[in-house]
Amino acid sequence: MPAFNGNAGPSTAARRLTDITGLWCAAAYCALAFFARQPGEPALSLFFLTAACAGLPVFFLYFYISRRGERFPVGRIFLWAAVFRFCGLLGGPFFEDDFYRYLWDGYRFATVGTPYGIAPEAFFADPAVPKLFQGILDQINNPGLATIYAPVTQFVFLLGYYLSPGSVTALQAILIVFDLVTIALLFRLTSAGNVMLYAWCPLVVKEIAFTAHPDGVGVCFLLAAIVLSRKSRWKTASICLGMAAATKVFALLLVPLVLLRAAPRYWMLSAAVFLGLYAPFVLSGGTDMQSFAVFAREWEFNSALFGLLSAVLGTFESKLVLGLGFAALWISYGIRYRKSGERIPRGDLIYGALLAVSTVINPWYLLWLLPFAAVFPTTWAWTASLAVLASYITGLNLNDYTMGPYQQPIWVRPLEFTPIVLAAGYDVFRYRRQKTGC
């Protein structure tokens, strides 16, 4: 998709309809923020109703203005995106408790120089822990494991601690800034209408602005590297790639593709940045990799192909088959990408395939996929942005004590994945029809 051309402005009707839709969505997010501030968690039905009210009108606006051949108002898209995120800042996290770990990591990093190496449960009876952080410590999930978050995210947690110790609001504000930069970068890569799909996406607003998941930091560095690489600014792009990889391992899937046309010294620079960010923590006795290994070996939640295949094969065999299949797809795509001369890798396809074979699919994992789905819009990706929210239907959120906290009713995964598969089938049908000219 070509970048937005600002020479011809949007029509008055397009601006007015954008504002009406933005105001409607803002009202939905304000309502969600209000309920998020009440004792306990919002009802699942209320959350799904809000997501539908804030998501479906965006699709309507996208198709309506696109089919009329009009331009989207860039300033209004960005402004309303900021308003939605401010609603999340006022609301705070719900359906999630990962932020307690972020706050604890920031405290540990600030006070001892590293968040790694010691599991939170070792401090349960430590009188030296301040009262504020004793309360945070009691809420951390999986306290028997040391932190699983990579170095760059730890620096974000550290910054949040310095801004306001123990405050999730400080972390939300930092992550919102990164997300707004991501939106600005997307305007350099695709049309304003496509950017709106990401900027106004309920999943993105919920997972970053409300819940403070840090994946958006890595995505921001990754997109910055792509924008810079398209201008052959390889030095800065390589630094950004190293930082993206040191934010979450997901970035490693695209780093080689972005660097395919770069000189070897830039590969070395990117690797040096990555290793340099890890080195101080390795020397101090620990990184995120120990807990990541446990996560990869033992955890399963909301899986798609793995859930199906493991019912027939064993766990190890299923991981092996799916892992080899994904590796083959990645290599095949890499060869095709190199020959194509394209400058933006299909992160939507790569991360989509990764999630399809993964043992865990959390909604915030789609934060890596959706920016690329804005550059390369597909029905399946944006269907997934709403459908995956069904993964929040768990024993914990249903208040069903006959189920495990993260156990899902048997009907949830068919409800979640069937629309995505049908949408993917529609995309294939439409692609073949366009290719044959029928």
Separation of alpha carbons 375 and 363, rounded Å: 20
- Find the helix packing angle between 192-199 and 44-67, rounded to 10°: 180
What string of pLDDT tens digits covers the 438 residues of the chain? Answer: 334 444 568 889 999 999 999 999 999 999 999 999 999 899 999 999 999 999 999 999 999 999 999 999 999 999 999 999 999 999 999 999 999 999 999 999 999 999 999 999 999 989 999 999 999 999 999 999 999 999 999 999 999 999 999 999 999 999 999 999 999 999 999 999 999 999 999 999 999 999 999 999 999 999 999 999 999 999 999 999 999 999 999 999 999 999 999 999 999 999 999 999 999 999 988 898 889 889 888 899 999 999 999 989 989 999 999 999 999 999 999 999 999 988 999 999 999 999 999 999 999 999 999 999 999 999 999 999 999 999 999 999 998 889 988 999 999 999 999 999 999 999 999 988 887 766
Please write down the HEC assignment for all residues of 133-195: HHHHHCCCCCCCCCCCCCHHHHHHHHHHHHHCCCCHHHHHHHHHHHHHHHHHHHCCCCCHHHH
Separation of alpha carbons 74 and 327, rounded Å: 39
pLDDT for residue 5: 43
Residue 267, amino acid: W
Please write down the HEC assignment for all residues of 81-128: HHHHHHHHHHHCCCCCCHHHHHHHHHHHHHHHCCCCCCCHHHHCCCCC
pLDDT for residue 53: 96
Strand-pair partners of 360:
301
Separation of alpha carbons 295 and 136, rounded Å: 22
Backbone angles phi, psi at 198, to 5 degrees: -80, -50
pLDDT for residue 133: 96
**SS3 at position 247:** coil
pLDDT for residue 431: 86
pLDDT for residue 1: 39
Q: Measure Cα distances from 307 to 117, 252, 316, 322, 411 in Å.
A: 32, 25, 12, 11, 13
Q: C-alpha dihedral over 44, 48, 54, 57, to 10 degrees?
A: -160
Residue 379, amino acid: T
Separation of alpha carbons 68 and 309, rounded Å: 45
Let me know: does 103 contact 224? Beta carbons within 8 Å.
no
Q: Which residue has the tokens 């890499």?
A: 334
pLDDT for residue 422: 97
pTM, to two decimals: 0.94
What DSSP string runs through 283-323?
A: HTT--THHHHHHHHHH--BS-SHHHHHTTTS-HHHHHHHHH
Give the CA count within 13 Å in the CB-facing half-sphere of 335: 5
- Residue 347 DSSP one-character state: H
Separation of alpha carbons 191 and 39, rounded Å: 41
Let me know: does 93 contact 212? Beta carbons within 8 Å.
yes
Q: How many residues does the chain have?
A: 438
pLDDT for residue 3: 41
Separation of alpha carbons 110 and 165, rounded Å: 10
pLDDT for residue 8: 63
Give the CA count within 13 Å in the CB-facing half-sphere of 290: 14
**pLDDT tens per residue, range 333-391:** 999 999 998 899 999 999 999 999 999 999 999 999 999 999 999 999 999 999 999 99
pLDDT for residue 67: 92
Query: Count of CB atoms within 10 A of residue 168's CB?
Result: 19
Q: What are the structure tokens assigned to 369, written together?
A: 């996929």
